[in-house]
Amino acid sequence: MSTPETQPAANFIRHIIAKDLAENKHQGRVATRFPPEPNGYLHIGHAKSICLNFGLALENQGTCNLRFDDTNPEKESIEYMESIERDVSWIGFTWHELRHASDYFEQLYDFAVDLIKQGKAYVDSSTPEQIREYRGTLTKPGIPSPDRERSIEENLDLFTRMRNGDFADGQYVLRAKIDMASSNMNMRDPTIYRIRRVHHHRTGDKWCIYPMYDYTHCISDALEAITHSICTLEFEDHRPLYDWVLDQIEVPCHPQQIEFARLQLEYTIVSKRKLNQLVTEKHVHGWDDPRMPTIAGLRRAGVTPAAIRDFCERIGVTKKDSWIEMAVLENSIREDLNEHSARVMAVLDPLRVVIENYPDDQVEQLEVGNHPQRPELGTRKIPFSKVLLIEQEDFAETPPPKYKRLTTGEEVRLRGAYVIRCNEVIKDADGKIIELRCSYDPDTLGKNPEGRKVKGVIHWVSETHSLPAEVRLYDRLFCRPNPDMEANFLDALNPNSLQILSQSRVEASLKDAPVESRYQFERMGYFCVDKDSSPDQLVFNRTVTLRDTWDS
RNA sequence: UGGGUCGUCGCCAAGCGGUAAGGCACGGGGUUUUGAUCCCCGCAUACCAAGGUUCGAAUCCUUGCGACCCAGCCA
């Protein structure tokens, strides 16, 4: 059996690392980091970055840290931090060290003082509006702030007092003194510290000034001796600033920032802000709603860590903006689930079938395999009796062309059991089919009938022996390929993304199926036991359907 | 129209001057007690365009065209 994980494919970052290794650039060391801001749950886009960073470290005998970029306490929380640790672990990676940007607040402050002493940073009293105005535009250079030439002594004093809490929020900022005329907006004296009296989930109220991303990230990388600092494309313009900061101060190493294109998946979104909106406005039932592209959502839907890793390897790593089709993800999911899931029978939308020529009280325990290609997964017994349940959609009075299921007067194979023939259709007063009267051929158990071919096979359960279950069928959350492109992404929401079937029946072997266990419901798809499930009320989520090539 | 980046099959993606890998999707066939799986076969004389260099170009040069990112005291 092939493993779902494919061999490492070539990509430009692997080339860069191979070259650095060949040149002994960092004494042959590879150190990466995955640096999320703890302001939301991780999603499939983060998975790409996680697999990249941890994968690169792993395949080069290097290290990968998990670092929380927690410099903006307003949006961050312990809950998010914990969910991130949980999700990274679940995907299957172990970090070398767990770090936080906030671990470096003191050092960051010292470096800022150093910058001021060098005359490379100054305290500015301009308002945000003034700063924006002075910054110029894409085509017009900026002009210096009136505070730009403040003396070093005064800057030192002001910055100390900023830290001491002598000023109101927003009264001053610390800015790097670089080049107000730079064609790169990020180099026009970027703000590196702001005053903000917000409780930080780790440092509490110790600080009332917080460092900005551009200033913090490069120094954090350097302090951790990161060799390759991998981030997404929108930070390309920030690289000169990343390098500038590290060039002004004394740090153990100067990591190389490398940018790659973030994942864009059709029929979904990966904007934290919008994902947050879906949750808070209750368009979904939470961060772990199986329709969400979050790691928690995928997990609850029944997607495996191996499938996510396989997907991330398949989509590749480039600098090209691209949209991945959902079919690629589904393929990775099916490939892993097909190999590892035990098969069981479940009737989602039951139709009663009475086998008229089967003895009233007889029950046969039929032995069936748990996996058609993997006999080592064993067999189980399923009860066959006079009254069975089959799928409504597996019977048609007037079948469409090439129909291979049950129809009046014709035969069909009951999976793992006998061939039956439908003799009569019972309807209620409204003409709705409520029961089928059938007969079975006793000589067709484990063998084909004499002289005729029965091509259809359908699944079933015994009415009295089966267990009631609720089955949740999920469809894509959006009905447009690029919801992000819509004026309002909520307009693209799929109104039928969740269908709950409360009358389903599953075979008795599922009685004690643990939460998160996964099965293939034969002919129906892959399903996972939901956390809402209990022995009295089983609840299953559909992870993905089976591939369906029946064109009709 | 300042700067940065990108353009190879429907969607991804290898390729790095020697004559277009692979995956997904799609189409056809075979096996099958899942219309699943699995197995065969097919699927870019062509690499955004036009010039140029070269015995030879997707790969080098030139000029166009198109797309994305940047003017937070967010990350």
User: Residues A335-355: pLDDT tens digits?
Assistant: 999 999 999 999 999 999 999
**CA–CA gap between residue A267 and residue A505 (Å, rounded):** 31
| Residue A5 confidence (pLDDT) | 41
Task: Say yes or no: A128 and A209 in one domain.
Answer: yes
The predicted model gives A424-447 an average pLDDT of: 97
The predicted model gives A98-111 an average pLDDT of: 98
A455 falls within a domain: yes
Q: How far is the CA of A21 from the C1' of B2 (A)?
A: 37
* pLDDT exceeds cutoff 60 at A56: yes
CATH (domain of A487): 2.40.240.10
Q: How far is the CA of A320 from the C1' of B48 (A)?
A: 14
A507 Cβ partners below 8 Å, 6+ apart?
A344, A345, A346, A382, A461, A465, A466, A467
| Residue A451 confidence (pLDDT) | 85
Task: Say yes or no: A385 and A321 in one domain.
Answer: no
A472 Cβ partners below 8 Å, 6+ apart?
A290, A498, A499, A500, A501, A530, A539, A540, A541, A542
Task: Say yes or no: A97 and A220 in one domain.
Answer: yes
Task: Say yes or no: A389 and A414 in one domain.
Answer: yes
Last residue of a domain, one of A157, A181, A214: A214
A5 falls within a domain: no
Whether any strand B atom is under 7 angstroms from the Cβ of A26: the reply reads: no
A549 falls within a domain: no
Percent of chain A predicted with pLDDT > 90: 96
Residue with tokens 């079919």: A327
The strand B neighbours among A residues 146-175, by Cβ under 7 Å, are 169-170, 173
The predicted model gives A391-400 an average pLDDT of: 96
* pLDDT exceeds cutoff 70 at A234: yes
The predicted model gives A456-463 an average pLDDT of: 98
A256 Cβ partners below 8 Å, 6+ apart?
A16, A20, A227, A228, A229
A3 falls within a domain: no
Question: Nearest 5°: CA angle at A280, between A277 and A282?
Answer: 100
Give the DSSP letter string of A346-359.
Answer: EESSEEEEEETTS-
| Residue A552 confidence (pLDDT) | 55
Q: How far is the CA of A108 from the C1' of B3 (A)?
A: 29
Task: Say yes or no: A119 and A94 in one domain.
Answer: no
Last residue of a domain, one of A401, A428, A459: A459
A252 Cβ partners below 8 Å, 6+ apart?
A222, A223, A225
* pLDDT exceeds cutoff 60 at A1: no
Task: Say yes or no: A129 and A78 in one domain.
Answer: no
Q: How far is the CA of A447 from the C1' of B20 (A)?
A: 51
The strand B neighbours among A residues 220-249, by Cβ under 7 Å, are 233-238
Task: Say yes or no: A314 and A224 in one domain.
Answer: yes
Task: Say yes or no: A496 and A449 in one domain.
Answer: no
Q: How far is the CA of A84 from the C1' of B73 (A)?
A: 27
Number of domains in chain A: 4
| This model's pTM is above 0.80 | yes
Q: Is A347 exposed, middle or buried (0-12, 13-18, 19+ CB in 10 A)?
A: buried
Tell me which nucleotides of strand B come within 7 A of a protein CB.
1-8, 10-16, 21-27, 32-38, 67-75
Task: Say yes or no: A97 and A228 in one domain.
Answer: yes
Sign of CA dihedral A350, A355, A356, A361: negative
* pLDDT exceeds cutoff 80 at A333: yes
Q: Which residues of A are catalytic?
A: 37, 262, 272
pLDDT-derived band at A8 (thresholds 50, 70, 90) equals confident
Residue of least CA–C1' distance to B38: A373
The predicted model gives A448-464 an average pLDDT of: 94
CATH (domain of A252): 3.40.50.620
- Which tokens belong to A58? 């792993």
Cβ proximity of A175 and A191 under 8 Å: yes
Whether any strand B atom is under 7 angstroms from the Cβ of A447: the reply reads: yes
The strand B neighbours among A residues 288-307, by Cβ under 7 Å, are none
Q: Give Cα A163 distance to the centre of its chain.
A: 39
A552 falls within a domain: no
Last residue of a domain, one of A459, A485, A519: A459
Domain membership of residue A399 as a residue range? 350-459
| Residue A78 confidence (pLDDT) | 98
pLDDT-derived band at A450 (thresholds 50, 70, 90) equals confident
Task: Say yes or no: A256 and A272 in one domain.
Answer: yes
A237 falls within a domain: yes
Task: Say yes or no: A65 and A116 in one domain.
Answer: no
A504 falls within a domain: yes
Residue of least CA–C1' distance to B27: A549
Assess: ipTM above 0.95: yes
Q: What is the pLDDT of residues A478-537, one digit of tens each?
A: 999 999 888 899 999 999 999 999 999 999 999 999 999 999 999 999 999 999 999 889
Percent of chain A predicted with pLDDT > 70: 99
Q: Work out the mean pLDDT of chain A and round it to a whole number.
A: 96
Provide the 8-state DSSP code for A315.
H
The predicted model gives A422-448 an average pLDDT of: 97
| Residue A7 confidence (pLDDT) | 57
Give the least confident one: A204-208, A390-394, A459-463, A547-551.
Answer: A547-551
Q: What is the pLDDT of residues A113-160, one digit of tens each?
A: 999 999 999 999 999 999 999 999 999 999 999 999 999 999 999 999
Task: Say yes or no: A309 and A180 in one domain.
Answer: no
A341 falls within a domain: no
CATH (domain of A159): 3.90.800.10
